[in-house]
Chain A
Amino acid sequence: MEIARHWRLKQQRYGLVGEVCPHCLAKIFPPRDVCPNCGGEAKTAFAFSGKGEVFSYTTIYEAPAGFDDTAPYTVALVKLEEGPLVTAQLTDLGSQPVEIGMPVEMVTRRLRQDGDERGMLIYGYKFRPRL
């Protein structure tokens, strides 16, 4: 179990909190303290709106250990409206086909169980078709 590791990532997992660069105003996710756009120091927290669109996607049938009980599921590269891409599962799809460009919004869902059946549940961001 990796309690401390998942606790450190709370703000990213639940709040999609990244950074905004005070020099060039680039939005950064995940936070990394150095702006990938201009190289300047970038430690100002920025909470993304959670709105975005599908940049690409695929369905996983052969899932890694820890995710195999939820397979098949769809993962996507989601382009947040502020600019950055994030990797995330798509959820609440129903019978709706996924398309590049489809508008989506962030929700908080269970990602996996940490370790074995005694492990804590790890929650984080997924994206559903925008209501």
Chain B
Amino acid sequence: MNDVVIAGIAQTPVGEHWEVSLRSLAVKVMLAAIKDAGGLRPQALYVGNMLGATLSHQAHLGALLADFGGLHLGDGKDQKHPEQRAGIEAETVEAGGASGGAALRQGYMAVASGLVDVAMVVGVEKFTDVVGAEVEAALATVTDGDFEAIQGLTTTAQAAMLARRYMHEFNMPVDGLAGFALTAHANAAGNKNAMFRKAISLEAYHKAEPVSDPLNMFDVAPNADGAAALILTRAELLPKDFSHPLVRIAASANASDTMGLHNRADPLWFAAAQVSVEQALRKAGLQREQVDLFEYHDAYSIHAALSLEAAGFAPAGQGWKLAADGSIGLTGQIPCATLGGSKARGNPGGATGVYQAVEAASQLQGRAGSNQIAGAKIAMIQCLGGPAATAVTHILEKVRN
């Protein structure tokens, strides 16, 4: 198995990109990632996307983005030969909100196996072409269609029921989840790609508009448009003038759990998240104490708390305290959402896992600016499909400066 290294990264800001189409968002970062990789071109493209077919009426994104990204098999110069016009292999990987992480895993496996020399992973989501009830209906397709969505359930309502049960079982105070939003917004102030760049106060959390009791507006990450991309390869294929600190993917793991939240043995335990973290740590030969930062999937504040518990950073029912007492802050014991997380950087749906990889890589490469975790060597990233019906965990490691 080959060692897989990150040759290039790119991202757009997350936001309401009215002027930019889904394909343009993706192509922008695809070309930027190639440039960041010193011109290294991929032989395979893995696209992480969740709602293209529903909100944009656009499926088959692999072929579309390989086409519009100009990813030909040959150098494209001799157009008379079909092999020159044809494009690289390309496909979409879908796992709800974990699509980006699942696509990253495909790219990782392709290079690790030796079957692909250079892989590109792009995460893209275009939320804002549609507004209101249609978006909620599209999001609900990641729940159990026959036994959850048909009841009018929304992904937010699922998280709200988890939060209410969590308060009931563990006596968390009504504002116990506030620390997740406060940390996210404080960190995003230093991230020029973040959607919201102002710190918020506890008072603002208390006054926030309720969304689905007991969750308020600050417990729910804002859905918006964005694209991020990575180029993966083997170290010996890097350009001679490659200048970034070398970062490798030390481990990759994907686990699933029951689709319906009602079918969980314990709805408050993210078993898939636990398993994928344990598998990843084992494959990387690391202890969780060695992790310097954790990019969890905070589409909802309660998911962040449950992810911390499943990852073993806090016992069941205590994950919220790591946010309340500052442990997840940039100078805390386990920095999380270091560039704003989904809450403040913005929630780019199926692209989330790729944003997390780009952010973690930039931390390990020392490119995180005012949010730099000093001496960061090992980053863990995790994205979830639904309330961890899918959980994809990667561990990134700085190899050398």
Contacts and interface: CB of A to CB of B under 8 A. Distances in A.
Interface of A: 5, 9, 12, 30, 36, 55-68, 70, 73, 75-77, 84-89, 100, 111-112, 122, 124
Contacts of B140: 64
Query: Which of A61, A68, A75 has the most CB atoms of chain B within a 10 A radius of its CB?
Result: A75
Nearest to B130: A65
Contact of B262 (A60, A67, A70, A85): A85
A66 B70 CA distance: 40
B262 A75 contact: no
Contact of B148 (A61, A84, A87): A87
Given A62-B156, A64-B137, A86 B262 contact: yes
Considering the complex of A and B, which 5 residue pairs feature the smallest CB-CB distances, nearest first?
A: A58-B160, A64-B137, A85-B262, A64-B136, A67-B152
A65 B137 CA distance: 6
B69 interface: no
B152 A89 contact: yes
Contacts, number: 112
Contacts of A65: 132-134, 136-137
B370 interface: no
A31 to B, nearest CB: 11
A75 B161 contact: yes
Contacts of A61: 211-212
B165 A73 contact: no
A36 B263 contact: yes
B56 interface: no
A85 B150 contact: no
Chief secondary structure at chain A's binding surface: strand
28 contacts: A12-B147, A30-B147, A56-B161, A56-B162, A58-B157, A58-B212, A58-B213, A58-B215, A60-B152, A60-B156, A61-B212, A62-B133, A62-B156, A63-B152, A65-B133, A66-B133, A67-B152, A76-B161, A77-B165, A85-B263, A86-B262, A87-B148, A89-B152, A100-B164, A100-B165, A100-B168, A111-B152, A124-B151
B136 A55 contact: no
Contacts of A76: 161
A71 to B, nearest CB: 8
Interface string B153-186: 1101100111011001000000000000000000
A110 B149 CA distance: 14
Given A56-B164, A62-B136, A75 B213 contact: no
B146 interface: yes
A88 B151 contact: yes
A76 B156 CA distance: 13
Interface residues of B, number: 37
A8 to B, nearest CB: 9
B267 interface: yes
A65 B215 CA distance: 21
A55 B158 CA distance: 12
B151 A111 contact: yes
Interface string B194-215: 0000000000000000011111
A39 to B, nearest CB: 14
B150 A122 contact: yes
A84 B149 CA distance: 18
B260 interface: yes
Contacts of A36: 258, 263
B3 to A, nearest CB: 38
B133 A60 contact: no
B124 interface: no
Given A59-B213, A84-B262, A87-B260, A64 B151 contact: no
Contacts of B134: 65
B44 interface: no
A85 B150 CA distance: 16
Nearest to A124: B150
A114 to B, nearest CB: 10
Contacts of A68: 132-133
A85 B267 contact: yes
A41 to B, nearest CB: 18
A91 B263 CA distance: 22
Interface string B120-141: 0000000000001110110110
Contacts of B164: 56-58, 100
B109 to A, nearest CB: 28
B231 interface: no
Contacts of B154: 60, 62-64
A30 B165 contact: no
A63 B136 contact: yes
B261 interface: yes
Given A58-B160, A64-B133, A87-B260, A112 B267 contact: no
Given A63-B133, A75-B152, A85-B267, 14 more contacts: A56-B161, A62-B212, A64-B149, A68-B133, A75-B151, A75-B161, A77-B262, A77-B267, A87-B144, A87-B151, A87-B261, A100-B164, A100-B168, A112-B150
